[in-house]
Structure 1
Amino acid sequence: MNRPLRYCLSLVSSLLPLAAAAQLKSIPQEFAASTVVLTNGDTIRGSLVLHNDLDLLLVTMADGTVRTVPALAVRTFAVSGEVMRFDRLPPQYYNYVSTPPRMRRRWAQVQRARPFLVYPWDHDHDYATSTAPAFFERLNGGPVILLRRQRLVSRAMPWSDPSWVSGYTTRPVGMPTYYTDVRELLYLGTPQGSIVALRRPKRDVLAYFPAEAEQLEQFARQHNLDFNEGAHLARIVDYANSLRQMTASTQ
């Protein structure tokens, strides 16, 4: 085989994994239990699969039947017992000398209850002329609500990077090729029923609460809160709500 041809084949081989990764779709989230309140007033319960990319629920009922429910038909729902796959953890959780106990269990359930709401969404297109119902996880109380959308996607393991595998340039035997990465988008749900995208959370939250901005920054510093962390930002937004309510009660 001549040298140019060998080089071309090598280049194609190196690009194939990248092409495959680009075609990977979002991974649905699975929950052991759910309560779904529909717009027609009915309530259904069962294990649930959330397809965030489609804003679609698959609910397995007690009799084993699976009900497909789009966001258009949902008023609100709550889930618990998220099924997590520990063989899909990011590379930094792997230990090549001894496998930690959490890696020996293929599945585990995170029991924390999580409420979801439905809002009209333009998919973050600035010049969109229409919206569609979409699912958002509720992270705080209100009346201004911190909302979150999560997207699980597969990412290739960087086994070829020596910083991950001490001196090795190939994937260790038995280790997976891909891991699950969680992408997170944050929003504010307004009392009027619209949403505000937090592309730069600190800037956008302070802009939404201009009268309370200085106090919010001071509150964040005092409590070591990060505007980019969902749990931290939920506390900040709750504090902003309390400040607005105090101001309203004195007027």
Structure 2
Amino acid sequence: MQRPLFFRLILLLVVLFSAQFPVSAQRVDIQEWPKGRIVLTSGDTLMGPVTYHRSEDIIRVTLPDGSIQAYAPVNVSSFTVTDERSRVWQTFKPYLWNRGNDYSDYKVPAFFELLSEGKYTLVKREILTTRSQNYGPMYAGYGRYYDPYGYGYGNSRQQTVIQDLFYIYNPKGEIIALRNPKRDLDDLFGNKDREMKDFVKRNNLEYDNARDLARIVGHFNSLP
């Protein structure tokens, strides 16, 4: 085989493989919005497209002059973004958090998405996890999306998905993980438990749905 032809075949194989497994599928931990507003702890406000790097907990904003600035949670009071298609605005705020280490008092600022604000504030973070899925369409849910690419094994494939993790920010300034939202919120409701169960049942709400969970916590905050 002539060397030029050999290299052409190698290049063709690389192109075909790249088409099947796009680079974007490898970085589902990055989310981009074409429109955003960042309020810094200094009081300055920045406008422009925003990119959120979940793994690094860093946001980047593209300014009108084309320059890009990166900020950690310690430098940000809040940021609000939208994709303009759904016209859903999402707000993120930094809270002091022990990174899920229940045995540590060491806390650092981390970004959380704000779902319902009040005496008890419902927030969430998203993590990457791998699951075995049967072949079939995957649909985006509120506040989460799925990587549609994976490796097939028989009738299933390994897919990288973004999983919602919910938390309560309580009046003591603590971030409390809702590892089992129904059970953990029942404990929080205390003597309002029966009233809250009636509200959930009457409105056909689910504890694993972000919108429903926001309604549940919002209603609890409204009770005298």
Query: TM-score with structure 2 length normalisation?
Result: 0.74
Check conservation: 2:98, 2:108, Cα contact below 8 A: yes
Between structures 1 and 2, the one with greater strand share: 2
Corresponding position of 2:92: 116
Corresponding position of 2:123: 147
Hey, what's the Cα distance between the residues in 1 that align with 2:151 and 2:86? 27
Residues 1-251 of structure 1 aligned to structure 2 (within 5 Å)? 27-81=29-83, 109-152=85-128, 157=150, 159-162=152-155, 180-243=160-223, 246=224
Query: TM-score with structure 1 length normalisation?
Result: 0.66
Hey, what's the Cα distance between the residues in 1 that align with 2:34 and 2:95? 24
| Structure 1 residues 22-53: Cα deviation after superposition (integer angstroms, max 9, x where no partner) | xx666211111111111111111110111122
Q: CA deviation at 1:226?
A: 0.9
Q: CA deviation at 1:156?
A: 6.0
* Matched AA of 1:157: G
Q: Which runs of 5+ in 2 are unaligned?
A: 1-25, 130-146
Q: Relative to 1, partners in 2 of residues 1:29 and 1:178: Cα closer, same or farther, differing over 3 Å?
A: farther
Larger Rg: 1
Hey, what's the Cα distance between the residues in 2 that align with 1:129 and 1:144? 21
Seq. identity, %: 32
Q: Which runs of 5+ in 1 are unaligned?
A: 1-23, 83-108, 165-176, 247-251
Check conservation: 1:28, 1:152, Cα contact below 8 A: no
Hey, what's the Cα distance between the residues in 1 that align with 2:74 and 2:42? 11
Q: CA deviation at 1:146?
A: 0.8
Secondary structure, aligned partner of 2:197 = helix
Secondary structure, aligned partner of 1:187 = strand
Check conservation: 2:150, 2:160, Cα contact below 8 A: no
Q: Relative to 1, partners in 2 of residues 1:178 and 1:61: Cα closer, same or farther, differing over 3 Å?
A: farther
Two-structure CA RMSD over aligned residues (Å): 2.2
Check conservation: 1:31, 1:49, Cα contact below 8 A: yes
* Matched AA of 2:60: L
Q: CA deviation at 1:190?
A: 1.8
Corresponding position of 2:20: none
Hey, what's the Cα distance between the residues in 2 that align with 1:43 and 1:156? 37
* Matched AA of 1:48: V
Check conservation: 2:36, 2:49, Cα contact below 8 A: yes
Hey, what's the Cα distance between the residues in 2 that align with 1:212 and 1:238? 13
* Matched AA of 1:65: S
| Structure 1 residues 107-137: Cα deviation after superposition (integer angstroms, max 9, x where no partner) | xx54311111110011111111301100111
